């Protein structure tokens, strides 16, 4: 009994030795279950992703979209021999639901047939920029409603893939003029179309000239350097910026190569494998758009490009917030008073600062 009394209890209040483990370890709270909750919710609701492809006819835009998502998202019809390619200024959108391992992706692809195909291409970018701003306006009108939907349909363009023709020289004046306007409104990812028409040396020289043109004309394509949040993003995005524009080849047909089926284009001297990095850089484009930066494209669209448009619209309405979270904006212009006259806000410091801020061009 004495020995039992003298032996210290395992749960005694005495300070234990550093080598002695604590008698009780705290049980986990279960914070990691939040990831499971987010996964279950994402499986139920799915995702939305809207992409636009811009470029001249015959550069393989529809084929590239089908190759990216391994599905017949866009059905392109080739004209008969001797029949010229139809040219139109109207934009065409198609929505396709892709399901993979129980996860649904609502994909909307907007094509721009006829862009740059006319003899006079002045202001040919206006329908494209007008369409992008129109989607921002629709989202804004839904957002400012007093009773709004729980989930606002998102038709805003999250990414624009710009197809540069494989000339091997440099960017054309049309490309420079359009990209300068486009990069202020949407995330732009330029690619060298039909890169199999260039040799490896020509491809690298062409890429270097395009990078110099983008830098000299202050064209900030995605991923933007000033949006890198941490060191890991900076390292990854810097590697991507070194390879932009990607030299890509699109193909939606499978061929048998060394006993395995591969996506590629069959030629007289062999098969150009789309997913082979030695043949083209399509895997880099796919990883950027889908596997690594899809959510970041959506976040920048909402937090940067859409917010810029929203600021301009609020300034144009001459209405200023009257308190935390207050928005007073009518779909037409100003909210009328009971006498039928538009309200005139009092001059304030906030309004003075808003007038001094630089305006964005759209």
Sign of CA dihedral 68, 72, 78, 84: negative
Residue 222 placed within a domain: yes
Per-residue pLDDT at 336:
37
pLDDT band with cut points at 50, 70 and 90 for residue 49:
very high
- Whether the Cβ atoms of residue 142 and residue 153 lie closer than 8 Å to each other: yes
Per-residue pLDDT at 339:
38
**Domain range for 268:** 33-75+88-111+124-317
Residue 218 placed within a domain: yes
pLDDT above 90 covers what percent of the chain? Answer: 35
- The residue behind tokens 């139809």 is 86
Radius of gyration of the chain (CA): 28
Per-residue pLDDT at 77:
52
Per-residue pLDDT at 294:
93
Number of structural domains (the chain) is: 1
3-state SS string for the chain: CHHHHHCCCCCCCCCCCCCCCCCCCCCCCCCCHHHHHHHHHHHHHCEEEEEEEECCCCCCHHHHHHHHHCCCCCCCCCCCCCCCCCCCCCCEEEEEEEEECCEEEEEEEEECCCCCCCCCCCCCCHHHHHHHHHHHHHHHHHHCCCCCCCCCCCCCCCEEEEEECCCCCCCCHHHHHHHHHHCCCCCEEEEECCHHHCCHHHHHHHHHHHHHHHHHCCCCCCCCHHHCCCHHHHHHHHHHHHHCCEECCCCCCEEEECCEEEEEEEECCEEEECCCCCCCCHHHHHHHHHHHCHHHHHHHHHHHHHHHHHHHHHHHCCCCCCCCCCCCCCCCCCCECCCCCECCCCCCHHHHHHHHCCCCCC
Quote the CA–CA distance of 313 and 310 in Å, as a whole number.
Answer: 5
Residue 327 placed within a domain: no
**Residue 261, domain CATH:** 3.40.50.300
Quote the CA–CA distance of 95 and 300 in Å, as a whole number.
Answer: 22
Per-residue pLDDT at 14:
52
Checking if the pLDDT of 303 tops 70, the result is yes
Sign of CA dihedral 160, 161, 166, 170: positive
Average pLDDT of the chain?
A: 79
Per-residue pLDDT at 128:
92
Residue 57 placed within a domain: yes
Per-residue pLDDT at 347:
41
Residue 323 placed within a domain: no
**Nearest by Cα to 62 from 46, 73, 49:** 73
Per-residue pLDDT at 124:
78
- What is the value of pTM for the model shown? 0.76
Most confident of 144-148, 216-220, 343-347: 216-220
* Sheet with 270-273, edge to edge strand ranges: 254-257, 260-267, 270-273
Residue 310 placed within a domain: yes
Q: What is the mean pLDDT of residues 103-110?
A: 89
Per-residue pLDDT at 72:
67
Crossing angle (nearest 10°) for helices 173-182 and 126-143 = 10
Weakest-pLDDT range from 37-46, 171-180, 311-320: 311-320
Residue 19 placed within a domain: no
Quote the CA–CA distance of 344 and 329 in Å, as a whole number.
Answer: 13
pLDDT band with cut points at 50, 70 and 90 for residue 338:
very low
Residue 307 placed within a domain: yes
Q: What is the mean pLDDT of residues 7-22?
A: 54
- The residue behind tokens 């917010």 is 307
Weakest-pLDDT range from 64-73, 141-150, 157-166, 313-322: 313-322
141-166 pLDDT per residue, tens: 999 888 888 888 999 999 999 999 99
Per-residue pLDDT at 214:
95
């Amino acid at each position: 009994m004495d020995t039992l009394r003298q032996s210290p209890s395992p749960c005694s209040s005495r300070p234990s030795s550093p080598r002695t483990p604590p008698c009780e370890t705290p049980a986990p709270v279960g914070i990691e279950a939040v990831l499971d909750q987010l996964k279950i919710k994402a499986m139920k609701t799915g995702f939305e992703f809207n992409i636009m492809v811009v470029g001249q006819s015959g550069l393989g835009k529809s084929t590239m979209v089908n190759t990216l998502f391994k599905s017949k998202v866009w059905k392109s019809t080739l004209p008969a021999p001797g029949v010229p390619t139809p040219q139109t200024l109207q934009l065409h959108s198609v929505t396709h639901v892709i399901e993979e391992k129980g996860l649904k992706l609502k994909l909307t692809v907007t094509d721009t047939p006829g862009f740059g195909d006319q003899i006079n291409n002045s202001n040919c970018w206006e329908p494209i920029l007008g369409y992008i701003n129109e989607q921002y306006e629709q989202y804004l009108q839904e957002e400012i409603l007093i009773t709004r939907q729980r989930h606002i349909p998102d038709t805003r363009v999250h990414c624009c893939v710009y197809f540069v023709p494989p000339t091997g020289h440099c960017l054309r004046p049309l490309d420079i003029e359009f990209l300068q306007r486009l990069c202020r409104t949407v995330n732009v990812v330029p690619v060298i179309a039909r890169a199999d028409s260039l040799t490896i040396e020509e491809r690298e020289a062409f890429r270097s000239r395009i990078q110099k043109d983008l830098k000299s004309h202050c064209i900030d394509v995605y991923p933007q350097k000033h949006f890198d949040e941490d060191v890991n993003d900076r390292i990854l995005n810097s590697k991507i910026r070194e390879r932009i524009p990607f030299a890509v080849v699109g193909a939606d047909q499978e061929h048998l190569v060394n006993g395995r089926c591969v996506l590629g284009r069959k030629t007289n001297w062999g098969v150009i494998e789309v997913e082979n990095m030695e043949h083209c850089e399509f895997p880099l484009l796919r990883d950027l758009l889908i596997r690594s930066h899809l959510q970041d494209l959506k976040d920048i669209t909402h937090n940067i490009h859409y917010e810029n448009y929203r600021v301009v619209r609020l300034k144009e309405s001459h209405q200023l917030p009257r308190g935390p979270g207050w928005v007073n904006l009518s779909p037409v212009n100003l909210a009328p008073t009971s006498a039928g006259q538009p309200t005139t806000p009092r001059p304030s410091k906030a309004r003075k600062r808003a007038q001094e801020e630089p305006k964005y061009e759209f």
